[in-house]
Amino acid sequence: MNNYDIVVVGAGMVGAAAASLLARSGFSVAVIDQHEPRPFDASRAVGLRVSAFSPGSADILAEAGAWRQVERQRHCPYRRMVVEDREETSVLEFDAVEFGLDQLGTIVENELVQWSLWQSLLAMGGVEIFCPDQVSDLEYQDEGLLIRLESGVSICCSLLVAADGANSGIRKRLGIRQEHWEYGQQGLVTVVQTSTPNPGVAWQRFLPAGPLAFLPLKDGSSSIVWSLPEAEAVRLLESDEAAFLAELEQAVSGGENHWPGQLIACGPRAAFPLTMRLSERYTASRTVLIGDAAHVVHPLAGQGVNLGLLDAAGLVEVLVGARNRQLDFAGDKTLEKFGRWRRSEAELMARGMHGIKGLFMPEELGPLRRIGIGLIASSWTAKEAFIKRATGRNRNAPALARGTSLTELLHP
């Protein structure tokens, strides 16, 4: 029988980062995923799924052994962030320099991060990978959990970490309910070439149907996420490139702050359903949920994977803390501490996104919106609080996101 301290189900960006950090902290770890990530190839065009990684997330990924590989390949730091109301009468701007930072974040393809983490897991001792495989049964035993895999292998562990994404089979198996916010919207994504190269600005405009974001890529093009009602998204996916670009041009044009310039071309298009979900709890006996398995937030603030990486770092901090005090790292008290901490952070984010979305969408809230943006724009304290959270370095963030190294965490 294979015996491990911790089994992580799901080696997406969040699960793989957690597994790497836990193994580097001295736990014996097994990872289960239904398929291997596709090898990253920098000669291919930029992938459709990119994320804005905060400096805090970059620190976590560095400790997980993946960031150097990311930096060597393809990423695009951004130093300015501009958020506009649809009429461009209210503009909120953030510049890294104002906050003494080199950058506000970096845009990276999800595939590259996942591949770099996978490489780091393969290169490491102390991690066993079961892939392709899936959990077929879970059984609680006196001292831990017995996990049966589809391949017929059985493994035992003290703690199960469910990082198996938004439709987490482990969460369903444990009967953990979720609060849902359904928007009937899709996020349309593509890569767009503009007449003026993107100058390293993450730009977002709130349109009546939902936010439209342009994220900078290394070659001067932009990766866009356009939130649209489902039928609109389907129509724009099916339209030809010229018709699509004409509608996108209309959505970005107007006002003095007009940035993206003329739209020249776009790559393949895809759309993803937009929802918000929050699990009623993050823990069950000897089990924790992290990443999208625990919460899904609206991509308007680009915080989904960042929140998941903070879960991974928070889990390591709590488990190592318990072990340092000779407590059971998989005991209820330890897991509840983690669950309360990370769930309250995700709830703040999910409700905040829901509130922002509610404030920005309706036409009749225009005056209120302008007052709100004006107040934030003129308040250094409000802007600083926003930036601390967006960079993953607020007071409640795990130590690994705030500059503490794994070595310092292990030997306080």
Ligand X SMILES: Cc1cc2nc3c(=O)[nH]c(=O)nc-3n(C[C@H](O)[C@H](O)[C@H](O)COP(=O)(O)OP(=O)(O)OC[C@H]3O[C@@H](n4cnc5c(N)ncnc54)[C@H](O)[C@@H]3O)c2cc1C
What is the contact surface with ligand X in residues (CB under 6 A)?
9-15, 32-35, 51-52, 110, 134-135, 163-165, 169, 187, 189, 225, 272, 291-292, 299, 302-306, 308
Tokens of 298: 């609206």
* Residue number of the CB atom closest to ligand X: 12
Q: Is the distance from CB of 316 to CB of 25 less than 8 angstroms?
A: yes
Least Å from the CB of residue 324 to ligand X: 27
Nearer to ligand X, 163 or 201 (CB): 163
Tokens of 350: 């999910």
Nearer to ligand X, 116 or 303 (CB): 303
* CA–CA dist 37, 118 (Å, integer): 8
Nearer to ligand X, 63 or 292 (CB): 292
Half-sphere exposure of 289 (CA within 13 A, CB side): 30
Nearer to ligand X, 47 or 260 (CB): 47
Least Å from the CB of residue 193 to ligand X: 20
Least Å from the CB of residue 21 to ligand X: 14
* CA–CA dist 8, 131 (Å, integer): 12
- The neighbour count for residue 215, using CB atoms within 10 Å, is 24
Nearer to ligand X, 35 or 44 (CB): 35
CA nearest 94: which of 359, 357, 373?
Answer: 373
DSSP string across 73-138? H--EEE-EEEEE-TTSSSEEEEEGGGGT-S-SEEEEEHHHHHHHHHHHHHT-TTEEEE-S--EEEE
Nearer to ligand X, 11 or 66 (CB): 11
Least Å from the CB of residue 327 to ligand X: 27
Least Å from the CB of residue 177 to ligand X: 19
> Would you give the DSSP letter of residue 293?
G
Least Å from the CB of residue 390 to ligand X: 10
